[in-house]
Amino acid sequence: MVSKFWNAEIETMPRKKLEQLQIERLKKTVEIAMGSPFYAPKFKELSITPDSIKSIEDIRRFPFTTKNDLRSTYPFGIASISLDRVVRLHSSSGTTGNPTVILHTQRDLDEWADAMARSMYCIGLRNTDIIQNTSGYGMFTGGLGIQYAAERLGALTVPAGAGNSKRHVKFITDFGTTALHCIPSYANRLAAAFLEEGIDPRNTTVRTLIIGAEPHSEAQRKRIEELWGAKAYNNFGMSEMCGPGVAIECREQNGMHIWEDNYIVEILDPDTLQPVPEGEQGELVLTTLNREAMPLFRYRTRDLTSILPGDCPCGRTHKRLARFQGRSDDMMIVKGVNIYPIQIEKILMQFPQLASDYLITIETIDDNDEMTVEAELAQATDDYGLLRNLSKEITYRLKSEILITPIVKLVGKGVIPQSEGKAKRVNDLRKNF
């Protein structure tokens, strides 16, 4: 019988046993990290040794690691082993500042490929699939990370890379691609490229999309699924934790299983740094358990999410993360109100008259914060009455969600500048003063 699981023993491991495995791996990771000039003195000061770890709660004794630590030790200052054993480096996309460098041994790369292959298997991809990757093959982990994993799965892989939508359209059509890896904003753009060629994406061979790397709402996912007539699965990864392959939805599409054999998961209140009760939102803090070149302890991802309570019907025992609200540094404070871009997206996506691109601009006008939301129309129209009513309705619904009244501007296709990589949703002009 064909298994439902890539690694049934690990994926369905009873929680007690899984915790035991985590403890063993944490001890091993501490031993490795004693070779890190960054961690060694901290461990000494806090009396952290492999033997001092008795339970998973001992994680609370560890120091936090932040993006700033990675920057201040740039490029190799956190490495736990000598560079002769390191075979590759990657860096984050630098969405929120200078990039950071992550090192990998051959074993790290193998484990990473295996975790992402497991993730692909989890959403139903098999060696019979043809997987086309739309991520850039450079420092960004979405390129090579997906490539090696798809090969590990045994699928036929099309390393088409970022950009050039016409070429993607041709490859999908010619090769009969069954699965795509892309960021959600590109899933929309590629669908538009098909439509421009007079091909309905629903009539292509694509049945599965792996979407991730940027926050997106459930409504956005539904849109992508309808556009493509395919299933779109939310996939979470970050360079610091290796890249894609950290957590993925199963076919239930209800939360992303985070592979706990590889990570210790904490959800903490970002201010007090104390754990929040299960089900409540907080900052995701991760400890690597299966990496040797550059293990990270209690890494503050700044991503806001929660653990979904209860068991998953798929049989996997690894905890599920809720859809991300965004990063703590995505939060905008406008007129004293805390707002996340994803709240605005959620409302905009409810309007079928709108396409998927939007841009939020915040500026100071007469000493007051003003927010403008530009949203792209799905179809051009010069019926001003209709446009007026539509923008009124959008303003009203946005106001009930974010509690302030934005200026809503409906714009034609192509007016909102498109970014090469992850979509830029907010233009905060206040910070430039």
DSSP 3-state assignment of 201?
helix
Which residue has 């940027």 as its token pair? 214
Q: Does 283 bind ligand ADP (CB under 6 A)?
A: no
Q: How far is the CB of 385 from ligand ADP (least distance, A)?
A: 38
Nearer Cβ to Zn ion (298/316): 316
Residue 88 contacts by C-beta under 8 Å, 6 or more apart in sequence?
103, 104, 109
Q: Does 93 bind ligand ADP (CB under 6 A)?
A: yes
Instruction: Show contacts with ligand ADP in window 219-258 (CB under 6 A).
Output: 234-239
Dihedral, CA of residue 91, residue 93, residue 98 and residue 100, to nearest 10: -20
Nearer Cβ to Zn ion (298/320): 320
Q: CA–CA separation, 45 vs 48, rounded Å?
A: 8
Q: Does 341 bind ligand ADP (CB under 6 A)?
A: no
Q: How far is the CB of 310 from ligand ADP (least distance, A)?
A: 21
Among 42, 85, 107, 327, binds ligand ADP (CB under 6 A): 327
Among 79, 146, 172, 213, binds ligand ADP (CB under 6 A): 213
Q: Does 259 bind ligand ADP (CB under 6 A)?
A: no
Q: How far is the CB of 220 from ligand ADP (least distance, A)?
A: 11
Among 301, 347, 357, 416, binds ligand ADP (CB under 6 A): 301
28-40 as b/e, with b when 16 or more CB fall inside 10 Å? Answer: ebbebbeebebbe
Which residue has 């905009």 as its token pair? 348
Nearer Cβ to Zn ion (196/252): 252
CB-based burial of residue 310 (10 Å sphere; 0-12 exposed, 13-18 middle, 19+ buried)? exposed
Q: CA–CA separation, 357 vs 326, rounded Å?
A: 17
Q: Of 254, 219, 215, which Cα lies nearest the Cα of 233?
A: 254
Q: How far is the CB of 312 from Zn ion (least distance, A)?
A: 3
Nearer Cβ to ligand ADP (80/217): 217
Q: How far is the CB of 242 from ligand ADP (least distance, A)?
A: 10
Q: Which two tokens stand for residue 9?
A: 């023993």
Among 143, 145, 201, 212, binds ligand ADP (CB under 6 A): 212
Q: How far is the CB of 370 from Zn ion (least distance, A)?
A: 44
Q: Binds 314, which of Zn ion, ligand ADP, none (CB < 5 to 8 A, cut-off by type)? A: Zn ion
**CA angle 401-363-424, nearest 5°?**
70
Check whether the bond before 417 is cis (ω within 30° of 0): no
Number of residues that bind ligand ADP (CB under 6 A): 18
Judge contact between 415 and 374, C-beta under 8 A: yes
Q: CA–CA separation, 313 vs 300, rounded Å?
A: 30
Which residue has 């098999």 as its token pair? 126
Nearer Cβ to ligand ADP (213/373): 213
Contact residues for Zn ion, defined by CB under 5 A:
250, 252, 312, 314, 316
**CA angle 286-289-324, nearest 5°?**
30
Q: Which two tokens stand for residue 322?
A: 């809720």
Q: Does 190 bind ligand ADP (CB under 6 A)?
A: no
State the number of CA atoms in the 13 A half-sphere of 329 facing the CB: 7
Q: Does 138 bind ligand ADP (CB under 6 A)?
A: no
How far, CA to CA in Å, does 391 sit from each of 129, 239, 271?
A: 43, 39, 37
Nearer Cβ to Zn ion (312/404): 312
Stretch that binds ligand ADP, among 105-113, 154-162, 208-216, 381-389 (CB under 6 A): 208-216
Q: How many residues does the chain have?
A: 433
Q: Which two tokens stand for residue 417?
A: 């500048």
Q: How far is the CB of 162 from ligand ADP (least distance, A)?
A: 13
For 250-308, strand residue ranges (E) read 256-258, 263-268, 282-288, 299-305, 307-308
Q: Does 123 bind ligand ADP (CB under 6 A)?
A: no
Nearer Cβ to ligand ADP (99/406): 99
Nearer Cβ to ligand ADP (95/173): 95
Nearer Cβ to ligand ADP (29/141): 141
Q: How far is the CB of 303 from ligand ADP (least distance, A)?
A: 5
Q: Binds 94, which of ligand ADP, Zn ion, none (CB < 5 to 8 A, cut-off by type)? A: ligand ADP
Which residue has 């090696």 as its token pair? 148
Q: Binds 324, which of ligand ADP, Zn ion, none (CB < 5 to 8 A, cut-off by type)? A: ligand ADP
For residue 418, how many other CB atoms are within 10 A of its CB? 11
Q: Does 288 bind ligand ADP (CB under 6 A)?
A: no
Nearer Cβ to ligand ADP (204/305): 305
Give residues in contact with ligand ADP (CB under 6 A).
92-95, 212-215, 234-239, 301, 303, 324, 327
